[in-house]
Chains A and B, each alone.
Chain A
């Protein structure tokens, strides 16, 4: 049976599923319920400085987008860091860690960008027995206007500086949580590494307006006729998170830095994908906020099952395995030729593949053959783009199959050897090089 236990920068947990710093981890009550349900660890809801806590809006703080059947696909929030008193939080962290010694309890922090406040809070956290700290440089709203959160996370120099202070003032592992609201995610990750951070975690939420109220003409969630951008998370952000994680994992400057993957993890499969891209743990917020803590049981069972099937005894056995396969477009094999193939037994004849290809791609799928409604790929036209696969409502009904020999579309033989754009005759860079020679 697969062993899911993890040791992430010295922080041990029975499984890689942590709850991200967010409402599910704001109180001892919630966190203990999460542990009872099986979560391996939590990152406690971000703590601020001592003194009067921040206040949240008293109107709606979430917006959302939905898929069919109102399945929640993306959540947006304008919540701030914890609005509870620092002392109460610290007491509860201490009690929780004491009650659950085998689970990971990491504390998220966000204080003004000066050495003293960081030093002070780190000392207080250390007293609780927590396993580590996560520096919240990501919150895109409310805190950034106060010079914290993503206001720091968007300036690599600040990240490095704060990471250095933290490493200097605590023995606890320091994880830097990155904001995705930046052009090149590698820059803040490099800064975190230079600052001595033990790990990075990403992504925090993405600047977003989920919808506009067309009666009041205000963004949602609307508070007294106004709205402000919030932070976007949930299934919709997973592709962005995976891409950012992969950038860090394969960047020579940061390769090998421990990563806690966050963003849209909803099922065991999502988690396995983050792990395959190098993450040592994953963090979850929206899935728990949508379905409650019990979802972790599906994640644990699913991951175990996958690992057993593949014969992976531990997370380390497959962690990072996808990283070498993430490459730049120019290195993709242009001699890999595929054609769509429709499984006629599975096809329910909805016609979506046809109209997608007909109207917006390459006119490569029939809709009528000999007067009968029939959907079939015309190999002479198919460029192998995969659009039909993506719009077909039946899973595995259309598959992309590699072909060899002559490509019926170009009528040219397919070179069985790998060749990419860097050597392609149409590449201007190749002409330039040839001219120079």
Chain B
């Protein structure tokens, strides 16, 4: 059949209500007490544990697992939160298969790592379910810090600053906090409004004032913040999306994957999200996988991830690729995007070059997931490196009194957990500077 003759099929409500529930429920159901104890017993309490070294926030993993096994899940939660206040979200979204669990000695021993992520979730869920707060604010220092962006980097920074007794104002462009936890992370990884619950749990420490709808570069300026505050932390993430270039077209059904996921995440009823019968996702990272899996989940018949490189180079881990395949997504490699096929102003296919020949994949939607970029305009003339804010190892930028962390800086790997660690460490650096 010719792409031109087929009528586009993009609809909401492809499935009956129960099917939505199944597809967007927890990827891994939480461990119950018994499962958690059996799993915790597998940990060897390693010395200088490789898992801990691999964790960007250096959570004392052997210790928290031991606390679970001795019937002290709240102690375990505190051990986690001491290092990573987003321990709950990280337990859900960290690619553990390439971090802590990859290097777990039981992976070496028998190819089955201790389920560190799931145990972390068990502990943090226990504490959050009881609304057990472990931290209080130190006596007020009278210092004021502005944090830009209420994503994991910004809030981790704000929380640590609040602990130290500083007053924090958070400026967030969007109407809600959480950053990509709220707008980006796949819905099956953190269902049940978890992102907002976690924001509430974290900000409950007090001393953190949220200012929504305030965008740096539009509503506020960096120079003014630097003037009004004792220190500024920038955690704006990546507001831009990479373009497909010549292969792109401004057509109906040509979508930015992150934006589409954001709409999905914000929908009060996901059955209202329109999805094509055939969807092509261009990209090779987590965003591509998440968009594809969720498109499939919404009832698309055929979903293809088209990645331009070989399997090994794909940024989504093998495990993530496996999830996609199990959920019926086909992944095709070496697909170099050439041209979007547009009929009557709407997408009907995508043309690729593959090993010298042309491949056309008919589709109703093309989701572009080829990476996000830092939108430099917002931060004035701060020094950049590789298109992102240049920072030193403490998170200091080229501007006095200004620190930065998370996706917007040049030092990360675009993971939630890395954003948290950079936010936390910048707070410690700010605290040192303010107490000097």
Contact between A367 and B47 (Cβ–Cβ < 8 Å)? yes
Contact A352 B45 (CB under 8 A): yes
With A and B bound together, what is the CA distance between A394 and B46 in angstroms? 13
Which A349-395 residues sit within 8 Å CB-CB of chain B? 349-352, 354-355, 367, 373, 393-394
* A326 proximal to B (CB < 8 A): no
- Chain A residue numbers with a CB within 8 Å of B38 are 69-70
* A302 CB to nearest B CB, Å: 24
Contacting pair A70 B46 (CB below 8 A):
no
Q: Which residues of A contact B109 (CB under 8 A)?
A: 348, 393-394
- Contact in complex: B108, A69 (CB < 8 Å): no
Provide the B43-81 mask, 1 if CB < 8 A to any CB of A, else 0. 011111110000000000000000000000000000000
CB-CB under 8 A for A349 and B41, given A354-B47, A373-B50: no
Within 8 A of A (CB), among B90-130: 105-106, 108-109
Which B residues touch A349, using CB under 8 A?
A: 46, 50, 105, 108
Pick the contact of A350 from B37, B41, B46 — CB < 8 Å? Answer: B46
Partner of A348, one of B37, B45, B47, B108: B108
Shortest Cβ distance from A109 into chain B, in angstroms? 42
In angstroms, Cα B45 to Cα A325, docked, is: 37
* A-chain residues with CB within 8 Å of residue B41 when the two chains form the complex: 68-70
Q: Which of A68, A70, A355, A373 has the most CB of B within 10 A?
A: A68
Residues of B with C-beta under 8 A to A352: 44-47
- Expressed in whole angstroms, the Cα–Cα distance for A350 and B48 within the complex equals 8
Interface bin, chain B:
10 to 19
**What residues of A have a CB within 8 angstroms of the CB of B48 in the complex?**
351, 355, 367, 373
B105 touches which one: A68, A70, A350, A367 (CB < 8 A)?
A350
Min Cβ gap B333→A in Å is 34
In the complex, residue of chain A having the shortest beta-carbon distance to the beta carbon of B47: A351
Tell me, in angstroms, the Cα distance from A70 to B69 when the chains sit together: 11
Q: How far is the CA of A394 from the CA of B44 in the complex (A)?
A: 11
Docked complex Cα distance between A351 and B45 (Å): 9
Q: Nearest chain-A residue to B103 (Cβ)?
A: A349
CA distance A68 to B46 in the complex (A): 16
Query: Which B residue sits closest to A368, measured CB to CB?
Result: B48
B40 nearest in chain A by CB position: A68
Q: Which B residues are in CB contact (< 8 Å) with A350?
A: 44, 46-47, 105
B256 CB, nearest partner CB in chain A, Å = 43
In the complex, which residue of chain B has the Cβ closest to the Cβ of A392?
Answer: B44
- Measured between beta carbons, the chain B residues less than 8 angstroms from A68 are 41-42
Render B223-265 as a binary contact track against A, CB cut-off 8 A, 1 for contact: 0000000000000000000000000000000000000000000
Interface flags, A49-84, vs B, CB<8A=1, else 0: 000000000000000000011100000000000000
Q: How large is the interface on A (under 10, 10 to 19, 20 to 34, 35 or more residues)?
A: 10 to 19
B48 to chain A, nearest CB (A): 5
**What 0/1 pattern do residues 385 to 409 of A give for CB contact below 8 A with B?**
0000000011000000000000000
- The chain B residue sitting closest to A393, CB to CB, is B44
On chain A, the residues within 8 Å of B49 by CB distance are 351
Shortest distance between the CB of B106 and any CB in chain A (Å): 8
Closest Cβ of chain B: how far from A155's Cβ, in Å?
42
Nearest to A367 among chain B residues (CB) is: B48
The answer to whether A70 and B47 have CB atoms under 8 Å apart is: no
A393 to B38, CA, bound (A): 17
Give min CB distance, B67 to chain A, whole Å.
15
Residues from chain B with Cβ under 8 Å of A348 in the complex: 105-106, 108-109
Query: Which single member of B37, B47, B105, B106 contacts A355 (CB below 8 Å)?
Result: B47
Complex Cα distance, B32 from A177, in Å, reads 45
Q: How far is A162 from B49 in the complex, measured between Cα atoms in Å? A: 60
How near does chain A come to B69, taking the closest CB pair, in angstroms?
Answer: 8
CA distance A182 to B257 in the complex (A): 76
Q: Which residues of B contact A367 (CB under 8 A)?
A: 47-48
A354 to B47, CA, bound (A): 8
Q: Which residues of chain B from 3 to 41 have any CB-CB distance to chain A below 8 Å in the complex?
A: 37-38, 41
B37 contacts which of A70, A351, A373, A394 (Cβ < 8 Å)?
A: A70
Complex-state Cα separation, A349 to B48, whole angstroms:
10
What's the least CB distance linking B34 to chain A, in Å?
Answer: 9
Rounded to whole Å, the gap between the CB of B100 and the closest CB of chain A is: 14
A398 to B: closest C-beta gap in Å: 14
Query: In residues 306-362 of chain A, which contact B (Cβ within 8 Å)?
Result: 348-352, 354-355
Minimum CB–CB distance for B310 against chain A, Å? 30
Nearest CB of A to B35, in Å: 12
- List A contacts of B45 (CB < 8 A): 352
Least distance between B351 CB and chain A CB atoms (Å): 49
Among B42, B49, B105, B106, max chain A CB count under 10 A is at B105
Chain B residue at minimal CB-CB distance from A356: B47
Most buried by A among B41, B42, B47, B105: B47
With the chains together, A364 CA to B48 CA distance in Å? 17
Shortest CB distance A377–B (Å): 15
Report the separation of the CA atoms of residues A367 and B49 in the bound assembly, to the nearest whole angstrom.
11
Complex CA distance for A127 and B405, rounded to whole angstroms: 89
| Contact partners of A393 in chain B: CB under 8 A | 44, 109
Find the B residue at minimum CB distance from A349: B105
Residue of A nearest to B108 (CB): A348
* Assembled-state Cα–Cα distance A68/B41 (Å): 5
Closest to A394 in B: B109
Expressed in whole angstroms, the minimum distance between the Cβ of A30 and any Cβ of chain B is 30
Bound CA–CA A377/B47 (angstroms): 16
Chain B: CB-nearest residue to A69: B41
| B313-331 residues at the A interface, CB under 8 angstroms | none
B168 CB to nearest chain A CB (Å): 39
In the bound assembly, the distance between CA atoms of A69 and B42 in angstroms comes to 8
The complex places the Cα of A197 from the Cα of B169 at a distance, in Å, of 87
Report the Cα distance A355→B48, complex, angstroms.
9
| Distance of A348 Cα from B112 Cα, bound (Å) | 13
Chain B residues within 8 Å of A69, by CB: 38, 41
Closest partner residue, chain A, to B38 (CB atom): A69
| CB nearest to A353 among chain B residues | B47
* In the complex, per-residue mask of A180-206: 1 if CB is within 8 Å of any chain B CB, else 0: 000000000000000000000000000
Chain A residues within 8 Å of B50, by CB: 349, 373
Residue of A70, A349, A350 most packed against chain B (CB within 10 A): A350
Complexed CA–CA distance, A355 and B41 (Å): 20
The distance from the CB of B47 to the nearest CB of chain A, in whole angstroms, is: 3
New contact pairs (17) apart from A348-B109, A351-B47, A351-B48, CB-CB < 8 Å = A68-B42, A69-B38, A69-B41, A70-B41, A348-B105, A348-B106, A348-B108, A349-B46, A350-B44, A350-B46, A350-B105, A351-B46, A352-B45, A352-B47, A373-B48, A393-B109, A394-B109
Task: Give B residues with C-beta under 8 Å from A.
Answer: 37-38, 41-42, 44-50, 105-106, 108-109
What would 15 A/B residue contacts be, using CB atoms closer than 8 Å? A68-B41, A69-B38, A70-B37, A70-B38, A70-B41, A348-B105, A349-B46, A349-B50, A350-B105, A351-B48, A351-B49, A352-B44, A352-B47, A354-B47, A355-B48
9 tightest A-B contacts by CB?
Answer: A351-B47, A355-B47, A68-B41, A348-B105, A348-B109, A350-B46, A348-B108, A350-B105, A350-B44
